[in-house]
Chain A
Amino acid sequence: MFAITTTGRIISFAWKNFTRNAWIGLATLLVLILSILSVNILLGVNAVSDAAMKALEDKIDISVYFKPETPVLVLDTARSYMASLPQSQEVDMRLPEAVLEDFKTRHKDDEKVLAALAELDQNPFGATMTVKAHNTGDYPFLVEALQNPQFAFAIETKTYDDNSVAISRVQHIAESVRLFGIILIAIFALFSILIVYNSIRIAVYTQREELGIMRLVGASNLFVKAPLVLSGAVQALLAMFLSAGAVVLMVAFLDPKLKIFFDGSDPGLQSYFMDNFVLLAGVQAGAILCLVIFSSWAATGRYLKK
């Protein structure tokens, strides 16, 4: 009975504390919302830049041009061998006939080229193999794998050698962007923690006299601290809901606009938040709740030593 009465009073005091300190509460709520939003905005920017990097990486591949007279058996060996490597994501072999058809289609309006082609007795094209890696870092390995003596002699040329500098630059930029994004999120998260901790301390500081008076009239530490911690927790949850609402609106507004820059493909913003919703909401709610509870508890403790 005593526990029920005490709990009821703590909740009632927490509510009164929240409503009668409306301005301080509102200021703290705003700080919490801004902190949560700043971290989420960075997460969104990181997701979009990650999608941009992925789109760029997707455009990278190795095109291998075989000599025209290469036997089909050798081509099959090359395709099977490259496809069997765990670093390969996709291997596409275009046989000489298909390459010739592609060429004709590409130049169907160029009569001179078609006439020159007709002059030849045989198909001048060899087979073409396109190899796509899982990661850009795997390309040097795949280029090395093309040195396999079972089919290396049949290779006329390959594009990777020409593009290797650009590919390694893209790879470097992608890694840097990802690392920078993670560092920036970590810094913002740290700033947010410090800002939230200090705004809770300020909110408690403004009530320091009241806390001392409560102690003087016989309130136990728990009775003084619990309502403040509880109202802080309510503020944290409210801030989470409002921030989540703001993030949903921002994503719904920005995602279609970003699609234009991504040539109609997914800019990764909405999908990032949708795919990671439970994780993001759980981690952020847990972190902000723990932070507010710890800050309120620690800040209140300072004024209850007497």
Chain B
Amino acid sequence: MIVLKNISKVYPPDVHGLRDVSLHIKPGEFVSIVGTSGAGKTTLAKLLIAEERPTKGTIVIGGWDITKIKRREIPYLRRQIGVIFQDFKLLQKKTVWENIAFALEVAGEPRRRIREVVPHVLKIVGLDQKAHRFPRQLSGGEQQRVVIARALVHRPKVLLADEPTGNLDTMNTNEIIDVLKKINAFGSTIVLVTHNREVVNGLKQRVITLSDGRVISDQAQGKYILP
């Protein structure tokens, strides 16, 4: 599903984001990528959605080598990978419904399908009653659930969550993790980038630990090993 071969990322003049990282993530896995600040977690996430390009190595997602992806192809990649951000990245001037529908509209989906899909994903994340509110009228946890709903509309094979609980309290964190588990149970691969010890230990899934841009640990049913 996701293959990283000898990936290195150097920011000028000589700051190493990642150093010779190789990974293989199988379809349907729930993988946590952990590390302290500056370990390279966010760099890895950005490379997976082609927000940045590696300095060296190749990244293949679902058989598609995205290392040399053209700019005009990036939107197509992003429609295949659902992305969840710590700072939500919702369009503040659009309602919950419009935020979710937008991801389908830009892909040219017909109105009838949008009317089917949006209520469905809103139900999955439990926000069907708040479809016409604006993001500022929602709590942090609710906003993050909107982001998850938006990420689900294209039925992505991979869901990349970059610190999705970073701005949330324990209760909202648990809710978000439960939603991610539910989505994983439907068959989607989940890549969770986090430094939340409790979340990682509670999942009892594969844990890849990064430090100083390198993979220092990759355990099938791992734990948060950093101090």
Say yes or no: is A217 at the interface (Cβ < 8 Å to chain B). Answer: yes
Asked if A218 and B75 make an inter-chain contact with CB atoms under 8 angstroms apart, the answer reads yes
Tell yes or no: A5 within 8 A of B by CB.
yes
Q: Which residues of B contact A209 (CB under 8 A)?
A: 89
Binding site for B on A (CB under 8 A): 2, 5-6, 9, 16-17, 20-21, 209-210, 212-221, 223, 306
B20 at interface, CB cutoff 8 A: no
Q: How far is the CA of A143 from the CA of B212 in the complex (A)?
A: 93
B76 is contacted by which of A20, A210, A214, A218 (Cβ under 8 Å)?
A218
Across the interface, do A220 and B72 meet the contact criterion of CB distance under 8 Å? yes
> Which of B83, B91, B108, B150 is in CB contact (< 8 Å) with A210?
B91
Identify the B interface with A (CB < 8 A).
Answer: 49, 51-52, 71-72, 74-76, 78-79, 83, 85, 89-94, 102-103, 105-108, 110-111, 150, 154
A223: chain B residues at CB < 8 Å are: 106
Complex CA gap A6/B110 in Å reads 10
Give the top 8 A-B pairs by smallest Cβ distance, nearest first: A219-B106, A218-B79, A218-B78, A20-B93, A217-B103, A213-B89, A218-B75, A220-B75
Establish whether residues A214 and B91, one from each chain, have CB atoms under 8 Å apart when the complex forms: yes
Complex contact B93–A210 (CB within 8 A): yes
Q: Which residues of A contact B49 (CB under 8 A)?
A: 216
Q: In the bound complex, how far is the Cα of B102 from the Cα of A16, in angstroms?
A: 13
CB distance from B100 to the nearest CB of A (A): 10
Q: A213-B90, A217-B78 are in contact. Are A306 and B51 (CB under 8 A)?
A: yes
Q: How far is the CB of A300 from chain B (nearest CB, A)?
A: 14
**Which residues of chain A have C-beta atoms less than 8 A from B78's C-beta?**
215-218
Q: In the complex, which residues of chain A have a beta carbon less than 8 angstroms from the beta carbon of B92?
A: 210
Q: Is the CB of A214 within 8 A of B83?
A: no
Q: Assess the A5–B108 pair: CB atoms within 8 A.
A: yes
18 A-B Cβ contacts within 8 A? A5-B108, A6-B108, A16-B94, A17-B93, A210-B92, A214-B102, A216-B51, A216-B89, A217-B83, A217-B103, A217-B150, A218-B79, A218-B103, A218-B106, A218-B107, A218-B154, A220-B75, A221-B72
Q: In the bound complex, how far is the Cα of B93 from the Cα of A106, in angstroms?
A: 82
What's the minimum C-beta distance from A204 to chain B, rounded to whole angstroms?
14
Q: Are A2 and B106 in contact (CB under 8 A)?
A: no
Which residues of B have CB within 8 Å of A9?
105
Q: Closest B-chain residue to A224, C-beta based?
A: B106
Contacts of B51 in A (CB 8 A): 216, 306
Question: Which chain B positions have C-beta within 8 A of A21?
Answer: 93
Docked complex Cα distance between A221 and B106 (Å): 10
Return the contact of A2 from the options B74, B76, B108, B150 (Cβ within 8 A): B108
Contact A215/B75 with A5-B110, A306-B51 known, Cβ cut-off 8 Å = yes
**C-alpha gap A220/B92 in the complex (Å):** 20
The interface residues of chain A lying within 8 Å CB-to-CB of B107 are 218
Question: What separation, in Å, do the CA atoms of A220 and B105 have in the docked complex?
Answer: 11
Beyond the given pairs A218-B76, A219-B102, A220-B106, 8 more chain A to chain B contacts, judged by CB atoms under 8 angstroms and listed by A's residue number, are A2-B108, A213-B91, A214-B106, A215-B75, A216-B51, A216-B78, A216-B83, A217-B83
Shortest distance from the beta carbon of B28 to any chain A beta carbon, whole Å:
23
Separation of A46 and B167 alpha carbons in the complex (Å): 62
Question: A2-B108, A6-B108 are contacts. A217–B93 as well, Cβ < 8 Å?
Answer: no
